[in-house]
């Protein structure tokens, strides 16, 4: 076998370059990889564009919600991202919703007049001189003066004030959410009369009693009584009528009273037949069934084209139905 001997020699520039190239080729063919390194810089942070929104309302103090988040109450100034936003305003049950488009680097001002939510009721302050008068509102006793009646419905109300000297009626208008004031003097001036009168109007005569004592009848134009409260009873025994009523008589004044008057019934017939009027009201041809009329006396007129006309006065009572039947053939 022939041995090769390596001679030491001086490397020239061209020869060394070839050797380096060969080394690179050998490295690549041997599976080696020479990968370049890549360096990436982090992107700069982008600040969103914003604008300013100013919200004022009448009244102030309205709650503000923007895009579902609470932002306090008006008046207010807030910075928002550019773009559309939903603003909800609410105050005492009143609501407003609006959409605003915020422009970058600009200010948007909004003034909103909120609808006033009307309160459902009002109050009434009552004072009398002297104090201690009984106070009734629309027929319901509420206490004695001075007092405040709360929770009254808006509108007109009848106020009755009562003390030992008599009563006073007042009409008061209640506004929603407001307090009305009523001040009434109820003293009797020196030398003023301490009596008054009652005047009774009824469809039929009635007798007037107080504590089982007969005061008079409705035939009298007016009956003198002491000023103040009176529990009166009306009676007409012939009609089966009796009722009671409380009356307030003011000093020197006439209390006009109309008793509650009941209804009765009457049935009317004629032979062979007739047209019937009752107190001038046409009831048609007989027979006429039970007709409702006030108790008392009534005029009934029967008319027949061949048998003529007949007139009757009949009494209707509260106890039993009245019946009236005539024979037109008899005069």
pTM for this entry: 0.42
What residues are paired with 271 via a beta bridge?
Answer: 327
**How far is residue 236's CA from residue 218's CA, in Å, rounded to a whole number?**
11
For residue range 33-88, what is the model confidence (pLDDT) as tens digits? 444 555 555 555 567 899 999 999 888 888 888 998 888 889 989 999 999 999 98
Of the three residues 185, 208, 236, the one that is the final residue of a domain is 185
For residue range 285-302, what is the model confidence (pLDDT) as tens digits? 999 998 999 999 999 999
For residue range 223-265, what is the model confidence (pLDDT) as tens digits? 888 888 899 999 999 999 999 999 998 888 889 999 999 999 9
Which has the closest alpha carbon to 163: 178, 181, 137, 145?
145
Determine the pLDDT at residue 233. Answer: 95
* Residue 165, domain CATH: 2.60.40.10
Of the three residues 134, 164, 185, the one that is the final residue of a domain is 185
**How far is residue 259's CA from residue 142's CA, in Å, rounded to a whole number?**
26
Q: Note whether 268 and 249 are same-domain residues.
A: no
Of the three residues 113, 138, 156, the one that is the final residue of a domain is 113
**What is the separation of C-alpha 278 from the centre of its chain, rounded to a whole number of angstroms?**
46
**Domain residue limits at 210:** 195-257
């Amino acid at each position: 076998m022939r041995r090769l001997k390596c001679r030491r020699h001086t490397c020239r520039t061209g020869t060394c370059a070839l050797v380096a190239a060969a080394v690179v080729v050998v490295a690549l063919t041997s599976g080696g990889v020479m990968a370049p390194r890549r360096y990436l810089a982090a992107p700069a942070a982008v600040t969103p564009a914003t604008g300013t929104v100013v919200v004022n309302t009448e009244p102030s103090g309205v709650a503000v919600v923007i895009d579902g988040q609470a932002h306090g109450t008006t008046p207010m100034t807030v910075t928002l991202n550019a773009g559309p936003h939903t603003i909800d305003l609410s105050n005492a049950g009143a609501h407003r919703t609006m959409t605003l488009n915020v422009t970058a680097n600009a200010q948007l001002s909004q003034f909103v007049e909120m609808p006033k939510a009307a309160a459902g009721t009002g109050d009434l302050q009552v004072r009398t001189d002297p104090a201690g008068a009984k106070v009734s509102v629309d027929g319901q006793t509420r206490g004695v003066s001075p007092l405040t009646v709360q929770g009254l419905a808006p509108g007109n109300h009848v106020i009755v004030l009562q003390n030992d000297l008599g009563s006073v009626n007042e009409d008061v208008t209640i506004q929603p959410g407001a307090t009305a004031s009523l001040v009434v003097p109820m003293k009797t001036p020196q030398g003023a009369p301490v009596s008054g009168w009652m005047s009774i109007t009824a469809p039929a005569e009635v007798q007037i009693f107080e504590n089982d004592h007969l005061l008079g009848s409705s035939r009298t134009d007016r009956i003198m009584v002491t000023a103040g409260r009176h529990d009166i009873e009306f009676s007409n025994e012939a009609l089966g009528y009796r009722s009671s009523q409380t009356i307030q008589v003011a000093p020197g004044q006439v209390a006009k009273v109309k008793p509650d008057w009941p209804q009765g019934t009457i049935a009317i017939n004629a032979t062979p037949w007739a047209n019937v009027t009752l107190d001038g009201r046409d009831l048609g041809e007989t027979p006429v069934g039970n007709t409702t009329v006030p108790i008392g006396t009534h005029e009934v007129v029967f008319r027949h084209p061949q048998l003529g006309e007949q007139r009757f006065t009949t009494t209707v009572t509260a106890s039993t139905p009245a019946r009236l039947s005539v024979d037109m053939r008899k005069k």
